[in-house]
Structure 1
Amino acid sequence: MGVDWAALEEAIRVTALRHAAEVITGHPDQDFYAIALHGVSTEESESIAMPLLALNSVQALERDRVTASREELVERGEDADEPADYEDRSDAQLEDPVEAEDVTLEEDSVVISDAEDDDEFEGEDQEFDDDEDLDQVLASLEEGLDQDDSESFYSDKWEPSDWHWSSIDLCEDPAAGIWSDAMTDLASHEGWEPTIRRYYGTLVAVANSLREELQQRTTADLVCYVADEEHAEKLLKLCLTDQQLSKYFPQLTELVEGE
């Protein structure tokens, strides 16, 4: 069984274009910045899967990052904020306060009897420490975000599996199974590497076509690419324009110029 690569490319292109256009036009308040084809592994396996389509917007990325930071604080038990309308339960039992004893310093015969005032100051110190700890946590998170470089290709900004629209099927059964079986059968006869290389070439052609066609429908500078962590740099060079490489991945541009 052979593979009609031209027919496969056209099938993926038409479906991906339709889904991408529907998402973009359906969310006019979102600034979309990237579209990716992903989910196809280059490592040899029992079958070759059809790709998934993913899109993301600036607003969705920011919202997801805020949510992730909040969830991390809650999991670590360091989010002490309470709702404005929070009240103790009416049946809550408060612990009996411990009565402080007067302490007499025999040497100077001085009696300390302001234990209640000391407790009050200790409570204020504890509240101050809690606020200070929370500030330190937030500062640490911000510092960590800067260190990870939130704009780099290996950040969540460019990881399609983390995006808001992350797994749109481009082909349903039985068609998906037919294409998958055909490519898997071809790989068993002609070898995995040449088959998967040809398949990725087809996906790159689809990504380039998506960028060109969507640019005619929107003013957004959409970055359309095939995502695979092991071959990220090569795929970006094949999918992005020179202007996009220079704008979004300047370090990669320097590597290209140095070759």
Structure 2
Amino acid sequence: MAPVREDPAGRRCFSNGHAPTGCKDAQVTALLNWAAFEQTLTDALTTAVRSVITTHRDEQFYAAALAGIYREQNALIALPTLGLNSIQALSKHPVEDQPDLRWSVLDWEHVDDDWLPDARSWEQALTAEACRDTTAHWESTFQRYLMLLVRVCQAVRRRSQDLLILVLDDEHHELLIRDTLTPSDVRRYFPELDVRAAEAAQVAALPGDTRAAYYVSRLDSFDSEEAESALRRLGPAAVPALVEMLAVSQQAWQAAKLLGEIGQADDSVVRALDAALTRCSGPDQAWIASALSFLGRLDLVFSKRNQLPHDVVVTAICAPYTSFRNYTLAPRPLDYRPLEEVFEHHPGYAAALAEELAPGRGHCDLSPAEAAEANRALTSSHPAVRRHAALCLEALHR
């Protein structure tokens, strides 16, 4: 799968330059027929797998996998690539490389992006279904899609006897393997998962600060998203370890992001972020500025605005109103007044703010209690504020 990164405004983009089909390009009037989708995928996968095996009778295939599932939150959900690999193909590589290549589908000898007939229509229908409501609906649709792929692989495996057929995805690696395969298959083909499960049980028994240090050490590893989730769940217990991480160049951004999501705005956190703001640069600096804003200390960013890049200040101003807010444990109540004050007293930022808050750039989800503030903002003298509030209210009332 192409690596996915988030910018401080909470938007997701693929780092390989892939230009996805967004929701606006996927206007499909009929709702997705999930049963027909599942049956179509099952039949097409059966046909594609049998075709490869029949064409290459001299090879002993050990697995087929669906992988490379591109997605962009609130936009594209793509269909997976199909890969098959044989023992003979794997043996062409040096022995020391084989463990990594065994499950690296895009490095397999037989890879097919066109295994599903009428793939674009199904992709458009799936994306349109995901995008027809809130971010939460997009997430639940994507999870339903993954479970559908699990069932498809299980059904095709029953038709293909001994061939292992599974779904592989970096973000949901262990979950999909355990859902697709039997426990005995997991022990045989992915023994490292049981080792990790035992390790996780040991970590869970540790004191909170020790657990936090462990998960911080995993932020730059294969299971970094799992580590991020664990740190968010730890909440205040994770704060000291994350504050220390602000001193690490090219990792400070992740610490700042998590501090903002945990939402503890005590003096130690604010002082550490403020001290790091002008010491850092690039993504580190942008996330630190955004975290300060999200914790209600945009004043500290503005006090140093002459030392900061223009886009860093703009991103910080907008942070409380973007989808970054949707990942926090307890977001601060919606308040458009700080944004309106910037429009009124610092007009030099107005054009960039309007662009950053434009439709399609990722807006925050509201709770019902925040509807009153959004309704008040509908009467704001600033068009960008009115437009943003209207988008949020529209999503809330869907």
TM-score of the pair, normalised by structure 2: 0.40
> What's the % identity of the aligned pairs?
36
Counterpart-to-counterpart distance in 1, 2:88 and 2:41: 27
Counterpart-to-counterpart distance in 2, 1:30 and 1:45: 42
Q: Which residue of 1 aligns with 2:119?
A: 176
Mapping of 1:74-89 within 5 angstroms?
none
Counterpart-to-counterpart distance in 2, 1:168 and 1:49: 11
More strand by share: 1
Q: Which residue of 2 aligns with 1:185?
A: 128
Verify the 8 A CA contact 2:70 2:76 in the aligned structure 1: no
Q: Tell me which amino acid in the other structure corresponds to 2:190.
A: F
Q: Which residue of 1 aligns with 2:109?
A: 164
Q: CA deviation at 1:239?
A: 0.8
Q: CA deviation at 1:254?
A: 4.1
Q: Tell me which amino acid in the other structure corresponds to 1:235.
A: L
Counterpart-to-counterpart distance in 1, 2:131 and 2:187: 40
More helix by share: 2
Instruction: Give the aligned CA root-mean-square deviation in angstroms.
Output: 2.1
Q: Tell me which amino acid in the other structure corresponds to 1:31.
A: Q
Counterpart-to-counterpart distance in 1, 2:74 and 2:111: 23
Q: Which residue of 2 aligns with 1:211?
A: 157
Verify the 8 A CA contact 1:50 1:170 in the aligned structure 2: no
Q: Tell me which amino acid in the other structure corresponds to 1:160.
A: V
Q: Which residue of 1 aligns with 2:75?
A: 46
Determine whether 1:202 maps to 2:169: no
Q: CA deviation at 1:42?
A: 4.7
Aligned length: 168
Larger Rg: 1
Mapping of 1:203-242 within 5 angstroms?
203-215=149-161, 221-242=162-183
Superposed CA deviations along residues 24-45 of structure 1, whole A, max 9, x for unmatched, are 1222221100110123235426
Instruction: Answer 1 or 2: higher relative contact order, Cα 8 Å, separation at least 6.
Output: 1
Q: Which runs of structure 1 show a deviation greater than 6 angstroms over 4 or more consecutive aligned residues?
A: none
Counterpart-to-counterpart distance in 2, 1:164 and 1:234: 26
Superposed CA deviations along residues 152-185 of structure 1, whole A, max 9, x for unmatched, are xxx111011110011242224xx32221221111
Counterpart-to-counterpart distance in 1, 2:77 and 2:176: 19
Q: CA deviation at 1:50?
A: 2.0
Determine whether 1:10 maps to 2:39: yes
Helix, strand or coil for the counterpart of 1:9? helix
Counterpart-to-counterpart distance in 2, 1:45 and 1:156: 32
Superposed CA deviations along residues 88-134 of structure 1, whole A, max 9, x for unmatched, are xxxxxxxxxxxxxxxxxxxxxxxxxxxxxxxxxxxxxxxxxxxxxxx
Q: Tell me which amino acid in the other structure corresponds to 1:185.
A: A
Q: CA deviation at 1:227?
A: 1.3
